[in-house]
Amino acid sequence: MADAKNEAVENLESAIEELMTEEVEIDLTEEEPVDELAALRAERDEFKDRFMRALADAENTRKRGERDRREAEQYGGSKLARDMLPVYDNMKRALEAAGEAGDGAKALVEGVELTMRSLLNIFEKHGIRLLAPEVGDKFDPEVHEAMFEAPVPGTKSGDIIQVMGEGFMLHDRLLRPAQVGVSSTPK
């Protein structure tokens, strides 16, 4: 990225230097001064065009570099975020299992709940949003992954009938789709 920017700036500088150092001989004899002047104007216009193109190239390189920097800043941690999602899943399963076990593990449950809240706060701080569809929502292939399809009376085709796993977004990019069961046309 920096090399392309430096190259564009060097091209611009060399075009300017060429314009400044080129010696132009003007021979305004009576034999065709108009043609000589037209040739000089054409050459000037060519140099001006090259200069403007080099300037535009440098500006485009600057804009591309800025866009790349913003994307790296915003999405650079997506691999780490993806690797953290199974931690969330395991903690959620631990909470569900502990809730079924009864009061014997109350302190453990509180500790896991506290850790889960902390993890979700960190996710939120870094732009990771939880996608938690509910039964009855419409299936959206952009953010949901259909794990199965089944005809269920009382539902419309494309309704979510079961949620097997939550999904996550990193800013506006999908990290992991929510895993759902979808209603097909009831028979």
> What pLDDT shows up at residue 135?
92
CA 44, 49, 51 angle in degrees (round to 5)? 95
pLDDT-derived band at 92, boundaries 50, 70, 90: confident
Residues with Cβ within 8 Å of residue 157, at least 6 apart in sequence: 183, 184, 185, 186
3-state secondary structure of 176: strand
For range 38-63, the mean pLDDT: 91
Letter for the amino acid at 97?
Answer: A
Q: Is the pLDDT of residue 34 over 60?
A: yes
128 phi, psi to nearest 5 deg = -95, 120
* 38, two tokens: 């037209």
Angular region, 25: left φ>0, alpha ψ -120 to 50, beta rest: beta
Q: How far is Cα 178 from Cα 163, in angstroms, rounded to an integer?
A: 8
> What pLDDT shows up at residue 160?
94
* 86, two tokens: 């199974």
Choose the most confident range, by mean pLDDT, from 1-10, 50-59, 70-79, 116-125: 50-59
For range 56-81, the mean pLDDT: 85
In the chain the beta strands, taken as DSSP E runs, fall at 128-131, 144-151, 160-165, 167-170, 173-176, 178-184
Q: How far is Cα 113 from Cα 99, in angstroms, rounded to an integer?
A: 11
Q: Is the pLDDT of residue 105 over 90?
A: no
> What pLDDT shows up at residue 45?
92
> What pLDDT shows up at residue 148?
93
| Tens digits of residue pLDDT in 7-25 | 767 776 777 777 666 665 6
pTM for the model: 0.55
What does the mean pLDDT of the chain come to?
Answer: 82
R_g over Cα of the chain: 32
- 29 vs 169, more confident: 169
Q: Is the pLDDT of residue 68 over 80?
A: yes
